[in-house]
Amino acid sequence: MGGLSPEREVSLTTGNSVFEAIKRNGLDAVAIDVDRDIAAHLKRTGIDVAFIALHGTYGEDGTIQGILEYAKIPYTGSGVLGSSIAYDKVKSKEIFKANGIPTADYQVFQRSQKNETTRTLDLPVVVKPSNQGSSIGIHIVNEENEWSKALETAFTYSEEVVVEKFIAGRLVAMGMRGEQPLPLVHIKPKSEFYDYEAKYTQGKTDYVCPPVDLSAEEISRCERAAIQVFRVLKGRGIPRVDAIVDAGGTPYVLEMNTIPGMTPTSLLPMAARQAGIDFDALVMEILNSAQLDYQ
């Protein structure tokens, strides 16, 4: 947990919640705050299995997974390749498009070519770094005078920025137990956008689970899309798929989060509770899914 990314504080909250749950289940556990000495630290601790609660760069992108593969320590979440492609928003969208999974039209901007690239999408658009989580660096651009600042902000977090056509609709999160979807969560932020503050501040967002504002057919479409995303992005364990359902009932997939948050306001524990799975049982189920890509 912890680590070096802008999501460090959220990761510490997730990690401590998971750590306490593992101890309540009677297992011998150690909490590791990841730094650049992590390989040597793993060797010193001699752990048998790793529960990854490490959000952001180095934690969700295949990096820590690769280190654990070398150490032959089974770990939770997706493998090296699955983690890498799910964390990269551009590669994910390319895979969605190639497999007929609805996703917003988009355009990619490179820092090295930003002055040579003209935006082709009409406003409003969503500007986001290609490899950050927790809505860090994301802006909705409604007016032309907001465009340059939003692009520059996104470039402070990533060398590559994805600009998406804004899709108006209902934001939903779908936890996955393997290829079996958990109950959907309808996310209703009280602000314009489900940003970092709305995600992690009590009372800033309403959550409806099960989602009464979606029809049975819309829920079914969401579940089918989530299963397909899990397959094409090489999902493993219990990830979360996010989408926006437009007025016509089409779920436009945003991403798959391979290491969902496990904080008091997190979506995966909320969906699990609706399915009759308490927090400690959810943690143990994730822990029991730990494995290696290379045996």
Least confident of 39-48, 114-123, 283-292: 114-123
Task: Please give the pLDDT value at position 294.
Answer: 87
Mean pLDDT of 178-189: 93
Task: Please give the pLDDT value at position 72.
Answer: 96
Mean pLDDT of 181-203: 74
Task: Please give the pLDDT value at position 189.
Answer: 78
Q: Do 132 and 195 contact (CB within 8 A), yes or no?
A: no
Q: Is 128's pLDDT higher than 80?
A: yes
Task: Please give the pLDDT value at position 201.
Answer: 59
Confidence of residue 192 (pLDDT cuts 50, 70, 90): low
Q: Which domains does the chain have, with CATH numbers?
A: 8-77 (3.40.50.20), 84-102+167-287 (3.30.470.20), 106-165 (3.30.1490.20)
Q: What is the pTM of this model?
A: 0.91
- What does the radius of gyration of the chain's CA atoms come to, in whole angstroms? 19
pLDDT (tens digit, 9 = 90+) per residue, 159-176? Answer: 899 999 999 999 999 999
Confidence of residue 113 (pLDDT cuts 50, 70, 90): confident
Confidence of residue 50 (pLDDT cuts 50, 70, 90): very high
Q: Is 134's pLDDT higher than 80?
A: no
Confidence of residue 191 (pLDDT cuts 50, 70, 90): low
Catalytic residue IDs: 7, 134, 200, 240, 242, 255, 257, 261
Confidence of residue 193 (pLDDT cuts 50, 70, 90): low
Confidence of residue 197 (pLDDT cuts 50, 70, 90): low
Q: Do 106 and 164 contact (CB within 8 A), yes or no?
A: yes
| Three-class SS of the chain | CCCCCCCHHHHHHHHHHHHHHHHHCCCCCCCCCCCCCHHHHHHHHCCCCECCCCCCCCCCCCHHHHHHHHHCCCECCCCHHHHHHHHCHHHHHHHHHHCCCCCCCEEEEEHHHCCCCCCCCCCCEEEEECCCCCCCCCEEECCHHHHHHHHHHHHCCCCEEEEEECCCCEEEEEEEECCEECCCEEEEECCCCCCHHHHHCCCCEEEECCCCCCCHHHHHHHHHHHHHHHHHCCCCCCCEEEEEECCCCCEEEEEEECCCCCCCCCHHHHHHHHCCCCHHHHHHHHHHCCECCCC
Mean pLDDT of 177-188: 95
Task: Please give the pLDDT value at position 141.
Answer: 93
pLDDT (tens digit, 9 = 90+) per residue, 214-266? Answer: 999 999 999 999 999 999 999 999 999 999 999 999 999 999 999 999 976 78
Q: Single out the residue of 223, 203, 188, 221 nearest to residue 265, CA to CA.
A: 203
Confidence of residue 6 (pLDDT cuts 50, 70, 90): confident
Taking the CB of residue 149, how many other CB atoms lie within 10 A of it?
12
